[in-house]
Structure 1
Amino acid sequence: MATSDAPHPTVVVDRVSRKFEVAADLPRVRVGSSRLRRLVSSARPRSKMTVHALRNVSFVAHSGEAIGIVGTNGSGKSTLLGLIAGLDMPSRGEVVATSQPMLLGVGAALQQDLPGITNTRLGLLALGFTPDRVELTIPRVLEIAGIGDAIYRPIRTYSSGMSSRLRFAIAAAAEPEILLLDEILSTGDAASVQRAEERMAEVRERAGTVFLVSHAAKTIQETCTRALWLHNGTLVQDGPAEETAEAYRWWAWNVAKGETQIADSLMEKALDSRRGVSEAEQEVESLRPHTQESKHP
């Protein structure tokens, strides 16, 4: 892990687009009897449609930053994290990272019939820890997770919050340079969220970078230094977490309240100005000659 005090680029997302071809049941013209309709339907190939999950997204993440990603369902937040983690490939553009990012989401796998302590050992071994280092690290994992004696019970007896806290603790113990959190702070009580936030701060203090996807804009405002607002795969705004998340919150509030005209006006203004986006694209442009050296799969 880098230890320089001077901020440096850790992730470069360069003109990234991602589209998916998905099956779709489009409306069909009714023909003849019900039996004939079934025969025609079974013989006809299913229609496909293209979903643009991300559209020409560019930005640079730096050491010491905690970057929140906000947007409604389907805006491209989790798709972006998957691309940064190297779990998926862009349809166009590229993602460059200085080290292998670690993605932790609410769906991270744990062995349901095994106790938490066994899952912890297996998780740390899977992260490349030696057996001796595993035993030295377990107390730290238990401290971060804060689930007490439940660590000795099977995972299937855990609440979703307890499972989430244990997954986070295992990943955080690996001290990654680039930590990706997908809705991981949306479960758990205030104390567990506080522990997670403290761990995120530790990663940043070691010149690391944290990405946090959350539906709660308030969480982004409280825990992040910077925020990206995605809408229908487009980067709408890139700037300080407080103002970016607040802009998203105000738009989302009007949508929820049925204030369609106000919400549409806010989105139109946001898309017209795209605050901070041009600056982000210019920074990517300045780094582009160097992005081929450390491209991860």
Structure 2
Amino acid sequence: MAVAKALKEKVPLATAQPEVVIDPDREPIVVVDGLHIVYRVYSGGGNKGNAVSALMRIVKRQNRPQMKEVHAVKGVSFVAYRGDAIGVIGTNGSGKSTLLKAIAGLLPAAKGAVYTDGQPSLLGVNAALMRDLTGSRNIILGCLAMGLSPEETKAKYEEIVKFADLKPGFIDYPMSTYSSGMGARLRFAIAAARTHDVLLIDEALATGDAKFKRRSRAKINELRKDAGAVFLVAHNLDVIEETCNRVIWLDDGRIKMDGDPTEVLKAYTDATGK
């Protein structure tokens, strides 16, 4: 990766924030360089009505929808290193999930860039599984989609079922019958079955009992040893503190603080009262 080589040779980021410090002794795996993400949304011009009436206004060029821009991420720069587990915190609307989607390559940059050494994988509460298929079939399809061979999938199957800890017999039921917690546990169990270059977890640990959360934290620590880096968005600050070696605090799309979990979490709690 050219960017990693440049960083190791102490070449500064082109648009880095002044507080970004590059460690020449560690291997960069994700570089976010002056990243801006802008959403373009359309409003109905303030008029109420159903979809048909809105369409007729558009056709007649009356009260055409107005485009508005939402600047969700504003000039964010940082370097993540191999072995990092980074918690991303902030109030609702601060840009946390948007940042993860951008790192995963799901959102285009309006300005700046994201570089990754390897393939990022985004795991969210709404990560796609086939609702009409059984949990068992989803495990097989999910593993194959992640690049595991049929033999590797077969070898991992029982481990995934055990980790997800579903109610007895539910592994053979359609996913449509699962609670949100059961679905989240199965998604995490499938994603954790292989080593990821960069694993992005968005609120996937928010659902589940204390036992599952403990297992999830242990699994993330495992992944950190074997994988590249782990990013975790969670409103539960205890999960962040126990799981991550670094925390990035986003505020209104900008990095407010980036550093040691204890220091960042204390500053965040003092500022927000959460």
Q: TM-score surpassing 0.5?
A: yes
Q: Which has the higher helix share?
A: 1
Aligned to 2:234: 214
Q: Which amino acid aligns with 1:213?
A: V
Once the two structures are TM-superposed, the CA of residue 177 in structure 1 deviates from its matched residue by: 2.1
Paired residue secondary structure (1:173):
coil
CA–CA distance in 2 between the matches of 1:66 and 1:147?
Answer: 27
Give 1 or 2 for the bigger CA radius of gyration: 1
Task: Say which of 142, 153, 163 aligns to 1:134.
Answer: 153
Q: Is the 8 A contact 2:196 2:227 kept in 1?
A: no
Aligned to 2:94: 75
Paired residue secondary structure (1:72):
coil
Task: Say which of 91, 100, 115 aligns to 2:119.
Answer: 100
Q: Is the 8 A contact 1:7 1:64 kept in 2?
A: no
Structure 1 residue 178 and structure 2 residue 207: aligned?
A: no
Alignment of 1:103-122 (within 5 A): 103-122=122-141
* Change in 2 beyond 3 A, CA 1:39/1:189: closer
Alignment of 1:1-297 (within 5 A): 7-25=26-44, 43-147=62-166, 149=168, 150-253=170-273
Paired residue secondary structure (1:128):
coil
Q: Is the 8 A contact 1:7 1:207 kept in 2?
A: no
Q: Is the 8 A contact 1:142 1:148 kept in 2?
A: no
- How many pairs align? 240
CA–CA distance in 2 between the matches of 1:168 and 1:105?
Answer: 9
Q: Is the 8 A contact 2:44 2:65 kept in 1?
A: yes
CA–CA distance in 1 between the matches of 2:225 and 2:46?
Answer: 55
Q: Is the 8 A contact 1:116 1:155 kept in 2?
A: yes
Q: Which amino acid aligns with 1:12?
A: V
Q: Which amino acid aligns with 1:159?
A: S
Q: Which moves more between the two structures, 81-90 or 244-253? A: 244-253
Q: Is the 8 A contact 2:57 2:64 kept in 1?
A: no
Paired residue secondary structure (2:133):
coil
Once the two structures are TM-superposed, the CA of residue 222 in structure 1 deviates from its matched residue by: 1.8
Paired residue secondary structure (2:273):
helix
**Which fold has the larger relative contact order, with Cα–Cα distance below 8 Å and residues 6 or more apart in sequence?**
1
CA–CA distance in 1 between the matches of 2:198 and 2:89?
Answer: 19
What is the CA RMSD across the aligned residues, in angstroms?
A: 2.0
Percent of paired sites with the same residue: 43
Once the two structures are TM-superposed, the CA of residue 207 in structure 1 deviates from its matched residue by: 4.9
CA–CA distance in 1 between the matches of 2:80 and 2:57?
Answer: 54
CA–CA distance in 1 between the matches of 2:46 and 2:100?
Answer: 34
Once the two structures are TM-superposed, the CA of residue 209 in structure 1 deviates from its matched residue by: 0.9
User: 1:187-230 CA deviation, whole Å, 9 max, x = no partner?
Assistant: 01111111111110001112531100012222211211111111
Structure 1, unaligned stretches of length 5 or more?
Answer: 1-5, 29-37, 255-297
CA–CA distance in 2 between the matches of 1:99 and 1:43?
Answer: 49
